[in-house]
Chains A and B, each alone.
Chain A
């Protein structure tokens, strides 16, 4: 499934981030492929907020739809 379908409070593992630039920036934030993250917030039709320990990141809806998680 893709990241935009994740529900609030749900944990998931990032499987693939297709865009290489985004992938590099996500690795810096600690949200690399293979990492376990928790979904903190889903803004209706808007961004997804992910958490990994104390790190929180917001991703736009379209970007989230391109990221495969499990």
Chain B
């Protein structure tokens, strides 16, 4: 096909075939169309420079390409950039719109039409719109857009065949006369209406490709498009009744703190039951113990053992205690994979049902006090699954400042699922007061460090601006597919990190550095934390695998207070080697090193202070220790609040003077 700018990804299209691109807002139901059109044989490939996976498959001679769900095409985030480039290279666009949210969805439709590409619109979820009392004039919508519009109910497979048969009827839609004139001028310079549109809208990347100054008409074009869409919607929709239904009131309850917090608590409790009890216990019991440790490891040891002794340097690195072929594979496939899949399953469930943006809205207030917005709850929740993964997911946050804060807090305060199981096992027998002390100390560190970073870091965090789609029952196939894709991505990204980590640790073991590190830490563990000298071994093992560290503590006979001090320290102590690798991959070397030493210092500082406080109160009184921890945390937080307020006042007075 004649598209010269094959930017990013190359997709093979047969000579007479067309490139059909599926476009839609998030959760419009595109995936059902994609599966229907392409059948079983689908290629999934990474879009260069992003973490996004793009699926494409064949439909006869043609190729169907999926795009990430977006509200518009420009350069606001990776999803948009990818959708933009795939659409600009399209021969035909099938635009899936949600009939219930036409005001929002038709904005993208009109933008795609303005690129001049032939379009066919699938008006999806018409049954839902009808249920909500809307009557939509499809013929009029066809006339106003200038492209075929086909009503569908994708999940019931209604209308899908008509959409497939209408691909050949797709045509360029109606473009506002004024915009068309502006487009024609730019078209003469760049030779493609879609690229001309994006240049006029000031898209930096497309402008650069053509070495043209980005246009300054975005505001004007967006505004006109919005007016046009509002006008269309007004003409085609007749509202018969607008009674509030169950989904609407439930959605409201989810964001109101009085009802939303209990709902969130129930959701998290269910998550704990499924992931913490069923997956971590039953599933991992099979995958880690039976399969990996019982079958896989002896097999790989036997095989590699034919070529070298297990005790040799190379043998230790490959198949030793922390071997690349033994521990890494067991850890990632046997332990982490089921847990991470569990977390992604819930996250997909929350996302598909429309609950996730409501959680973000509910927690926005809390997170904004540590310089984040509600969306940061996603990496935070994922961190309990795997900090390495969560660190990668922070790419979705709106600013570098938010990423910095989130990544540091993740490494410092969030115990990952592997570690959490062992920690709970050690804490539970100690009784409620000690559990409370542990939670108070770790949570206080999260809030205090977050507040301090928010107060001292320069730059600006982004504010919450999020779409709350109508609640709906999650679709199983969608959730399963998302879980599978994300878990696979995790494997692909994390495996090399874990392998390299294991390689480093084994090298340390062979060269004796591991032992030296343990000896180096011992005086600190004994003198400052008042723990047995062997605890330092557990701390260093915590770098190898976080659960090793916590499990190492179980072998030491310590009093209740000493156990809590050790657990607090090991939670805050540097994350596992893979998380450290990802830290260095995602941040600059200097920043990563700073974060690494920072969490080390804070872990020992807090652990030691709790130990000293405990001694001062007699050594077996958790409650006064909790009181002091809370009081000192609160005083730091309020101090920061006052500083922040003064800063805000100063800033606003500067603005006032400036005006």
Chain A residues in the interface with B (C-beta under 8 A): 20-30, 32, 40-41, 43-47, 49, 52-63
Known: A27-B225, A49-B361, A58-B466. 15 other contacts (CB 8 A): A25-B76, A27-B223, A28-B104, A28-B108, A28-B222, A44-B365, A46-B368, A47-B464, A56-B467, A58-B357, A60-B364, A60-B374, A62-B368, A62-B463, A63-B464
Considering residues B101, B361, B374, B470, which has the most beta carbons from chain A within 10 angstroms of its beta carbon?
B361
Considering residues A27, A40, A44, A45, which has the most beta carbons from chain B within 10 angstroms of its beta carbon?
A27
From residue B133, how far is it (CB to closest CB) to chain A in Å? 10
Identify which of A21, A22, A27, A60 contacts B226 (C-beta below 8 A). A27
Q: Tell me if A58 and B100 are in contact (CB < 8 A).
A: no
* Known pairs A41-B255, A47-B464; A60 contacts B373 (CB<8 A): yes
Give complex CA distance A55, B108 in Å.
15
Return chain B residues, CB-CB under 8 Å to A40: 252
Give complex CA distance A46, B360 in Å.
11
| B362 in the interface (beta carbon within 8 A) | yes
Interface size range of chain B in the complex: 35 or more
Return chain B residues, CB-CB under 8 Å to A30: 103-104, 107, 226, 229-230
Return chain B residues, CB-CB under 8 Å to A52: 103
| B432 in the interface (beta carbon within 8 A) | no
| B257 in the interface (beta carbon within 8 A) | yes
Q: Tell me if A32 and B223 are in contact (CB < 8 A).
A: yes
Q: Tell me if A43 and B76 are in contact (CB < 8 A).
A: no
Q: Smallest CB-CB separation from A41: which chain B residue?
A: B255
Q: Tell me if B255 and A29 are in contact (CB < 8 A).
A: no
Q: Tell me if B222 and A24 are in contact (CB < 8 A).
A: yes
Return chain A residues, CB-CB under 8 Å to B223: 27, 32
Secondary structure at the B interface, as helix, strand, loop or mixed, is helix
Q: Tell me if B365 and A47 are in contact (CB < 8 A).
A: yes
Give complex CA distance A18, B114 in Å.
27
Q: Tell me if A61 and B365 are in contact (CB < 8 A).
A: yes
Return chain B residues, CB-CB under 8 Å to A44: 257, 365
Q: Tell me if B362 and A49 are in contact (CB < 8 A).
A: no
Show 22 residue pairs from A and B whose CB-CB distance is below 8 angstroms, ordered by the A residue.
A26-B465, A27-B226, A28-B71, A29-B104, A30-B104, A30-B107, A30-B230, A41-B255, A43-B361, A43-B362, A43-B364, A46-B365, A46-B368, A47-B464, A49-B468, A55-B467, A56-B469, A56-B470, A57-B466, A58-B357, A59-B463, A61-B365
| B219 in the interface (beta carbon within 8 A) | yes
* Known pairs A28-B104, A41-B252, A43-B256; A21 contacts B364 (CB<8 A): no
Considering residues A23, A25, A55, A60, which has the most beta carbons from chain B within 10 angstroms of its beta carbon?
A60
Return chain B residues, CB-CB under 8 Å to A45: 365
Give complex CA distance A30, B463 in Å.
18
Give complex CA distance A20, B103 in Å.
21
| B395 in the interface (beta carbon within 8 A) | no
* Known pairs A27-B223, A29-B467, A40-B252; A58 contacts B364 (CB<8 A): yes
Return chain B residues, CB-CB under 8 Å to A25: 71, 76, 465
Q: Tell me if A60 and B368 are in contact (CB < 8 A).
A: yes
Q: Smallest CB-CB separation from A30: which chain B residue?
A: B103
Give complex CA distance A20, B357 in Å.
23
Q: Tell me if A59 and B226 are in contact (CB < 8 A).
A: no
| B404 in the interface (beta carbon within 8 A) | no
Return chain A residues, CB-CB under 8 Å to B465: 22, 25-26, 57-60, 63
Return chain A residues, CB-CB under 8 Å to B230: 30
* Known pairs A59-B463, A60-B374; A47 contacts B222 (CB<8 A): no
CB proximity to A under 8 Å, residues B95-145: 100-104, 107-108, 132
7 closest Cβ pairs, A-B complex: A46-B365, A63-B463, A60-B464, A60-B463, A56-B468, A58-B361, A30-B103
Return chain B residues, CB-CB under 8 Å to A57: 465-468
Q: Tell me if A47 and B468 are in contact (CB < 8 A).
A: no
